[in-house]
Structure 1
């Protein structure tokens, strides 16, 4: 079993959330709904506390099965959830996975996503023996693309119809990270 905590410094902790933290998770999403919903179809005005609870319970099940690892970023001063990062679309046969993330709107611009991607990549490479991670960002999601570039991911180009957003195929930039890319 891998650690619940993958990163900690004086101001930030990145760890597995529990079902009891559903109100914190829900509050973070509500505080960021406009920003997250611009890129994520699951994030709508109807998102509920029960949705957060279900997400956190599902996170536990998927982690136990080794098919997805979801972590939250916690501000140590306030205890607030300030973001989320996940390792998903894991293909153990090829040792590959996808990284997805969002940062709470009032905590953007602090390099939290960069810190989180680096921590999750180290976890994936060191504890799960992954050899390739991908970050897929919608064509106009400049913030997400900037995070990928700051962590040293390699731009592999714009892929047509690479993602679905609200039921419609959209173009997306593909970035890759391999163990040697992390300084």
Structure 2
């Protein structure tokens, strides 16, 4: 199991998701629905621990053929968010990244460190050439993290995501291996 250390002093690490983490992940999502669900569609669907467990089983199944790779973000061994490569394409050497972080841990540089670590892992270990991220145009925090970590703006995709009863524009960014 690959564990990626972000900050040993603060015990920040990325750990591959496992189905047995479902209870803890669901508790974080359920306890912070307003924050996490403001910009992410999956939160409205995550109504039970069983749904979360099924999602984690699918993630594990996708990881085996190299189609996705998901990690929990832990601080002092407590799960505080997730970060993942989905739409992982090993033929074209590219992936799309997604992430979320509990509100108590935002604005501390944690997600910036996690994104940098995932990019380094993707380029060095998975041999990716390009990583893309989509962020709601109104999600100032996520757009700031993306820009701070060196991603370049590509395009605004109009009405690209349907959430909370309406369509939302999404900014798309990319980062190329150096």
Same fold (TM over 0.5): yes
RMSD between superposed Cα atoms in Å? 1.8
Residue 167 of structure 1, CA deviation = 7.3
- The match for 1:123 among 121, 124, 145 is 121
Deviating beyond 4 angstroms after TM superposition, the runs of 4 or more aligned structure 1 residues are 166-169
How many residues of Structure 1 are paired with residues of Structure 2 in the alignment?
Answer: 176
SS in structure 1 of the partner of residue 44 of structure 2 = coil
Q: Which residue of 2 aligns with 1:50?
A: 50
Q: Which residue of 1 aligns with 2:5?
A: 7
Task: Indicate conservation of the 8 Å contact 2:6/2:113, yes or no.
Answer: no
For structure 2, the 5+ residue unaligned runs are none
Alpha carbons of structure 1 residues 57 and 46: separation in structure 2 relative to 1, 3 Å: closer
Alpha carbons of structure 1 residues 66 and 46: separation in structure 2 relative to 1, 3 Å: closer
Task: Indicate conservation of the 8 Å contact 1:39/1:138, yes or no.
Answer: yes
For structure 1, the 5+ residue unaligned runs are none
How far does the alpha carbon of each residue in 1:14-36 deviate from its partner, in whole angstroms, 9 at most, with x for none? 11132222211111112221111
Q: Which residue of 2 aligns with 1:146?
A: 144
Q: Distance in 1 between matches of 2:97 and 2:64?
A: 18
Alpha carbons of structure 1 residues 45 and 92: separation in structure 2 relative to 1, 3 Å: closer
Q: Distance in 2 between matches of 1:156 and 1:84?
A: 24
Give the TM-score of the pair, scaled to structure 1: 0.88
- Residues 36-115 of structure 1: pairs in structure 2 closer than 5 A: 36-44=36-44, 47-76=47-76, 79-115=77-113
Task: Indicate conservation of the 8 Å contact 1:28/1:80, yes or no.
Answer: no
